[in-house]
Amino acid sequence: MAASSTSSFVVVANRLPVDRVPESEGSGFRPSPGGLVTALEPVLRSHGGIWIGWPGSSLGDDDVFEADGLKLKPIELSDQDVEQYYEGMSNGTLWPLYHDVVAKPAFRREWWDAYVQVNRRFAETTARCAAHGAVVWVQDYQLQLVPAMLREMRPDVTIGFFLHIPFPPSELFKQLPWRDQILKGLLGADLVGFQRPGGAANFARLVRLRQGHKTHRDKILLGDGRQVAARAYPISIDFQRLEQLAKSQSVMARTEEICREIGGDRRILLGVDRLDYTKGIRQRLRAFGELIVDGAISVDDAVFVQVASPSRERVQQYVEVREDIERWVGRINGNLGRIGRQPVHYVHSSYPREEMAALFQAADVMVVTPFADGMNLVAKEYVTCRHKNDGALVLSEFAGASDELKQAFLVNPHDINGLKEAMLAAMRADPRDLSRRMRAMRKQVREHDITAWANAFLADLAA
Ligand code: G6P
C-alpha cells in the first residue's frame, strides 16, 4: 500500500525490517535476520515514522509502502552493489575488522568506491524522506558515511547514529585505508551511540589522534563550533512482548512437545545464532563433545541443539565456517552417537518467534560463546523467556550483554577447558542458585528494555 513519503522521524538501516520473499519461494515478506531488526522494529512501531532500507531483493517499485503497520521506503541494490558494497566492503572488510579481526579483512578499492556510492544513495533518499527539522536515526556499520553526507544536504535535520557491532581499538581501526573518511562520516552525526563504553572511548581517542579534535568527557569539539557526543547505549529487546509470547498457551504446549521429542530425561543445551565465524559455534560443540568423551556427561543425559540461521552465504568466510561446523557436527554424532541417540541436533534454518520462544523455554542451558559481539540479543531473549526463573545462561565475556548479565556463567570462548567447566557447572547447579541468578538477570532486562534504550538515545539526541 502506498503511504505518505515524508516524516519527522526516519530510521535508516541497510536492511528493512522485512525481506521480500523471492517468487520462487512463494513471494510476500518475512522478518529480516539479525539483532538490529529485532531491536528497532518495536521502536519504529511506537514512534511512527519511515524506515529506509534494502528489502533483500528487488521490489520493482521504490515507493513508500506499508507492511504490518510499518511505513517502509525500499532502496534497491543492484547485483554489483550487493557484491561490492554489502558482501564486500560491509561484510568482507568492516565486519571482520570491527570484530577483532577474528577473520582477515580484505581491503579492496572497488569495494570502497561502491560503499561511498551506496551510502550517497541512502543519504539522498533520506534527504527526500525527512520533513523539515526531522530526527534521522542512522544505523550500523554499512552506513557510516551517511551522517556527514546527509548533514551537507540537509543541515536542518538532527542526526543520530548507532553502531550495533563493536567499535575496534585504534590499533586495528588504523589498518583501514579509508579510516579518516569513516571518522569524518560519523562525525556528521550529533550523537554517535555505541554498545559499550569501550567503543565510545575508542572512537573519541581516534578522532583526537587522527583528526586533532579536542574532546571533553563524552563530547567531541569540532573546529566549526559544532559538538558531537559519543556515548554507550546498550541495546535491548521488547521484554514485555516476548515474555507474553513465551507465556502463551500455544508456546507452552510447543515447549512440552520439544522436551518430549528431544529431551525426554536428557538436559537440553541450546545455541542459537546467525551462522557466523564470530559466534564461536565450533568451540561450544567441541567442548560438549569432549565432555562426553571425558565421561563427565553421556548421550543419555544431555543433548545439544544448535540452530544456525543462514547468513551472508556467498561470502567465502561464511561458506568455510558452515563447512567447518557441519564437519564437527558430523564427527561428534558419528563418533559419540548411536541409532536413535544423537548428541547434537543441528538445523541450518531460521524459525518464527513462537518456535524460538518455545526452544528457549525448553533449554536447560543456553550457550552463547561469541569471540566478539556488539550485544548479543539472543542472551537477553533467553532470559526474557525464562518466566519461571529457571534455566542457566553460559555467556562469553566478549559479548556486550556480559556487562549487564553478570549472573550468567561467564566464559572465555577461546578457553575450551574453561568452557567445559562452565557448561558442566551450569548443568549441575543447584536450582536455588539458578533461580537467584535468573531473577537478577530478568530484572536487568525488564528494567532496561528496548523502550528505555530508544528513549535514552532519543532524549540525548534532542538535548
Ligand atoms: C547484525 C548487524 C546488522 C545486520 C544483521 C544481519 O545484527 O549488526 O546490521 O543486519 O547482523 O546481517 P545481514 O547481513 O543479513 O543484514
**What SS3 state is found at 238?**
coil
Residue in the structure block whose three cell numbers are 498457551: 249
Residue 226 alpha carbon to ligand 1 centre in Å: 31
- 418 class by beta-carbon count within 10 Å (0-12 exposed, 13-18 middle, 19+ buried): middle
Closest residue (by CA) to atom 11 of ligand 1? 34
Would you give per-residue pLDDT tens digits along the chain (463 residues)? 455 689 999 999 999 999 888 777 777 788 898 889 989 999 999 999 999 999 987 666 678 888 888 999 999 999 999 999 999 999 999 999 999 999 999 999 999 999 999 999 999 999 999 999 999 999 999 999 999 999 999 999 999 999 999 999 999 999 999 999 999 999 999 999 999 999 999 999 999 998 999 999 999 999 889 999 999 999 999 999 999 999 999 999 999 999 999 878 899 999 999 999 999 999 999 999 999 999 999 999 999 999 999 999 999 999 999 999 999 999 999 999 999 899 999 999 999 999 999 999 999 999 999 999 999 999 999 999 999 999 999 999 999 999 999 999 999 999 999 999 999 999 999 999 999 999 999 999 999 999 999 999 999 999 9
Which residues make Cβ contacts (< 8 Å) with residue 412, sequence separation at least 6? Answer: 396, 397, 398, 418, 419
Closest residue (by CA) to atom 8 of ligand 1? 164
Rounded CA separation 233/81 (Å) = 31
DSSP state of 414: T
Query: Within 6 Å (CB) of ligand 1, which residues are found?
Result: 14-15, 33-36, 140, 164-165, 311-312
**Torsion-angle region of residue 172: left (phi > 0), alpha (psi -120 to 50) or beta?**
alpha
Ligand 1 atom nearest 311 alpha carbon: 15
**What SS3 state is found at 302?**
strand
Residue 222 alpha carbon to ligand 1 centre in Å: 31
Best probe residue, ligand 1, of 57, 90, 164 (max atoms within 8 Å of C-beta): 164
The neighbouring-strand residues paired with 397 are none
Coarse DSSP helix, strand, coil percentages of the chain, rounded to the nearest 5 percent: 50, 20, 30
CATH class of 239-447: alpha beta
Q: Where are the domains of the chain?
A: 7-235+452-462, 239-447
pTM: 0.97
Best probe residue, ligand 1, of 12, 32, 36 (max atoms within 8 Å of C-beta): 36
Ligand 1 atom nearest 165 alpha carbon: 8
Which residues make Cβ contacts (< 8 Å) with residue 223, sequence separation at least 6? Answer: 213
Rounded CA separation 286/277 (Å) = 15
Q: Which pLDDT value is given to residue 1?
A: 44
Q: Which pLDDT value is given to residue 35?
A: 87
Contact in structure between 281 and 371 (CB atoms under 8 Å): no
Cell of 40: 528497532
Query: What is the rounded radius of gyration, in angstroms, for the C-alpha atoms of the chain?
Result: 22
Residue 312 alpha carbon to ligand 1 centre in Å: 9
Residue 95 alpha carbon to ligand 1 centre in Å: 10
The closest alpha carbon to 19, from 300, 311, 438, belongs to 311
Rounded CA separation 307/258 (Å) = 14
Residue 140 alpha carbon to ligand 1 centre in Å: 9
Write out the H or E segment, with its range, that includes residue 38. Answer: helix 35-47
Give CATH superfamily name and number for 7-235+452-462. Answer: Glycogen Phosphorylase B; (3.40.50.2000)
Best probe residue, ligand 1, of 11, 32, 309 (max atoms within 8 Å of C-beta): 32
Residue 79 alpha carbon to ligand 1 centre in Å: 18
**What SS3 state is found at 60?**
coil
Rounded CA separation 114/142 (Å) = 11
The closest alpha carbon to 370, from 419, 314, 337, 328, belongs to 419
Residues in the chain, total? 463
Rounded CA separation 228/213 (Å) = 11
Three-state SS letters, 344-403: EEEEECCCCHHHHHHHHHHCCEEEECCCCECCCHHHHHHHHHCCCCCCEEEEECCEHHHH
Ligand 1 atom nearest 142 alpha carbon: 9
Residue 36 alpha carbon to ligand 1 centre in Å: 7
Fold match, 7-235+452-462 / 239-447: yes
Ligand 1 atom nearest 164 alpha carbon: 8
Measure CA of the first residue to CA of the last residue in the chain; give whole Å: 35
Residue 324 alpha carbon to ligand 1 centre in Å: 22
Closest residue (by CA) to atom 5 of ligand 1? 34
